[in-house]
Amino acid sequence: MKIKYWLMISYLLVMLLPVAAAYLLYVSLSDYDDKQDITDFLQFQDVANNLEDVLNDVSLYTIQSEENYEPLKRYTNENLKIDLYRYDGIHLYSSMTPSSATQLYKPNKDVLFQNLNEYQKNPRTYSLKRLVFDEQEQLAGLYEITMSRQAWIDASNKSTTMMVVLLSTFFLALYVIVIIAINKKLNRPLNQLQHHMTAFAAGKELDQRLQPSRDEIGVLIEHFEQMKAQILETREKLAKQQREKEYMVASLSHDLKTPLTVIRTYTEALESHHLTQEEREEYQQILYEKLEHMKEMINDLSVFTALQSAENTLRRVPVNGNEFFDMLFSGYEEACAKKNIHLNVETSVRNGYVLDPKQMIRVVDNLMDNSIRYTPEGKYVWLAGISAKKPLPNWVFPEFIQGLDDWRNDGTVIIIQNEGQGMHPSQINKVFQPFYQNEASRGKGATSGLGLSIAKMIMEKHEGKIKIWSIESKGTLIACWLKERGLS
């Protein structure tokens, strides 16, 4: 549940529950009071009826000595009071007041004769006034019976105390529940998140994982975990780039030593006056080749660095498939002829693609240069572009057909296959690493070691992929996969 909804419901409950609890207590106590009130009334009515015969004695309503009222005391107690008045309103007797203080006292007759024969209920007492007549039906006097509602008062005090205690207990329990709920819903997750953020900022990894939830804090935790993963990924990338740069510098330094040494040696030799013209031309050709090789190494390094940059993007344009692949596969006949290598080119592609022509030319150049270099004289190199719906060429080595057919699913593949020594399986997993060269090639000025790495990066930027199959003493196949989209 969202925290805002949870808080709204909590506030509503906190406001309504005390009111509901107070109302329920009030209703229950009122019901109890009503029952107690009925009991007290019935008890007072019974007492008044029992005293009626006694108090109707006409002789009680004349001025007389206190001793004559002694028999009335056995009908009274601390909760029951009897007052006697003469016909003219003079107060003759009170069971709770000395006679000397009451006799000859004359209250207001209008007040005295109010509410006759009516049971009067006050907050603390029940009372009843009745007239007494003599045998001639003349008014002899008036008596008033008053009974204290002590049981109701005690019960009311007890109920009030109970109500205060119960409400206080309820408020305390509600407060504790709200505190526990807020701590569970807000404080604990926020404290855990703060603890993890502090630990992460300090470079520490905690064993306890953050518990996700379906509220705003859960979203915050999810975003923190995403940010944490991104930061860790960025750190790893930076560390990897740093390692690659260090390896790059070391490899480049190592690979540049041989051509630099050769250049220095032959440059010093050219200063000699004992060289023939033919030797000078040979030395100059060697210097040119070494300088050209160094230039290629620097160019490859520049391209590799540019492709690593996040700002480097492809300039994709729609191209005609047949025309582009004809252009892409042309120009390799001369390089193959120089080494007496047989080149076989085949295209069966779609009508249109969307790609970066310059970068795709670089990919095929790097792969063909690599294949030609490792193909012995008199052997074959095959180059093809095959769309997803077309069958693979029949010259693909049988050992590669099934794997290549499964791998090229729903995409066009550029296939470069050559006969030659092939590669050991351990080498296949390393050839796409920057500056990787086998020991036979390293230090001989063969390549910069970046060609396959550059090809892999370009294919990945095209949302494609690249893979190598190889059999020792037979040959190698390199395939580049392009997503089929754009023009049809």
Confirm whether 416 is domain-assigned.
yes
Mean pLDDT across 399-425: 91
pLDDT band at 387; cut points 50, 70, 90: very high
pTM: 0.50
Q: pLDDT at position 445, please?
A: 46
In this structure, the answer to whether residues 376 and 300 fall within a common structural domain is no
**Residue 256: both structure tokens together:** 């540049």
Q: Which pLDDT tens digit goes with each residue over 81-107?
A: 998 888 888 888 888 876 554 455 667
487: confidence class by pLDDT, cuts 50, 70, 90: very low
**Average pLDDT for 67-74:** 85
262: pLDDT strictly greater than 50: yes
> Could you tell me if 470 and 377 lie in one domain?
yes
The predicted model gives 276-301 an average pLDDT of 77
Give the pLDDT mean for 63-75: 84
Residues 343 and 285 in one domain: no
Cα torsion for 191, 197, 199, 204, to the nearest 10°? Answer: 140
Q: Do residues 394 and 444 both lie within one domain? A: yes
More confident residue, 56 or 167: 56
**Which one-letter amino acid corresponds to residue 471?**
I
Last residue in a domain, options 115, 137, 154: 154
430 within a domain of the structure (yes/no)? yes
Same domain for 366 and 440, yes or no, is yes
Angle between helices 277-308 and 216-270 (to 10 degrees): 170
241 and 140 both lie in a single domain: no
Task: Tell me which of 29 and 89 has the higher pLDDT.
Answer: 89
Closest Cα partner for 416 from 374, 373, 385? 385
b/e per residue 412-445 (b: at least 16 CB within 10 A): bbbbbbbbbbbbeeeeeeebbebbbbeeeebeeb
Q: Does 251 or 172 have the greater pLDDT score?
A: 172
Average of pLDDT values for 389-403? 92
The boundaries of the domain holding residue 275 are: 212-312
Residue at which a domain ends, from 312, 341, 369: 312
| Terminal alpha carbon distance of the chain | 50
CATH number where 245 lies: 1.10.287.130
Out of 129-143, 287-301, 308-322, give the one with best mean pLDDT.
129-143
- Same domain? For 7 and 123 the reply is yes
Tens digits of per-residue pLDDT, 424-470?
888 887 887 776 666 545 444 455 677 788 888 888 888 899 999 99
3-state secondary structure labels for all residues of 179-226? HHHHHHHHHHHHHHHHHHHHHHHCCCCCCCCCCCCCCHHHHHHHHHHH
Average pLDDT score over the chain:
81
Looking at the fold, whether 393 and 425 belong to one and the same domain comes out as yes
Range name among 64-68, 241-245, 314-318, 437-441 with the lowest pLDDT average: 437-441
- The mean pLDDT value for 136-158 works out to 84
pLDDT of residue 343: 93
Is the same domain home to 295 and 321?
no
Q: Which of 121-135, 137-151, 381-395, 441-455 has the highest mean pLDDT?
A: 381-395
- Candidate from 168-182, 339-353, 395-409, 430-444 with smallest mean pLDDT: 430-444
Task: Give the bridge partners for 120, in sequence order.
Answer: 127
- Structure token pair of residue 74: 């056995």
In a domain, 59, yes or no: yes
Residue-wise pLDDT for 188-223, tens only, equals 777 877 887 888 788 777 777 777 777 777 777 788
The answer to whether position 62 is within a domain reads yes
Give percent of the chain with pLDDT exceeding 70: 87
Sign of CA dihedral 302, 305, 308, 312: negative
Strand pairing class (342-348; 380-386): parallel
CB–CB of 383/448 below 8 Å?
no
Question: Which of the four pLDDT bands, split at 50, 70 and 90, describes residue 348?
Answer: very high
| Percent of all residues in the chain with a pLDDT value above 90, rounded to a whole number | 19
Q: How many domains does the chain have?
A: 3
Q: What is the pLDDT of residue 260?
A: 79
488 confidence band (pLDDT: 50, 70, 90): very low
> Looking at 264, 285, 312, which one is the last position of a domain?
312
> What mean pLDDT do residues 138-150 have?
88
Task: Mark whether 274 and 357 lie in a shared domain.
Answer: no
The pairing of beta strand 342-348 with beta strand 475-483: unpaired
133 and 266 co-located in one domain: no
pLDDT of residue 191: 82
Residue 220 in any domain: the answer is: yes
Structural domain includes residue 201:
no
pLDDT at 5: 64
Please tell me the predicted confidence (pLDDT) of residue 294.
75
- Predicted local distance difference test score (pLDDT) of residue 20: 80
Identify the weakest region by mean pLDDT among 178-187, 261-270, 304-313.
304-313
The CATH number of residue 55's host domain is: 3.30.450.20
- CATH number, domain containing residue 329: 3.30.565.10
The pLDDT, as a whole number, for residue 307 is 67
Report if residue 178 sits inside a domain.
Answer: no
Residue 188 domain-assigned (yes or no): no
What would the mean pLDDT of 221-246 be, rounded to a whole number? Answer: 81
Quote the pLDDT of residue 401.
Answer: 92
Q: What is the pLDDT of residue 438?
A: 60
332 and 443: one domain?
A: yes
479: confidence class by pLDDT, cuts 50, 70, 90? very high
What pLDDT does 166 receive? 81
Contacts of residue 206, Cβ cutoff 8 Å, sequence gap at least 6? 195, 196, 199
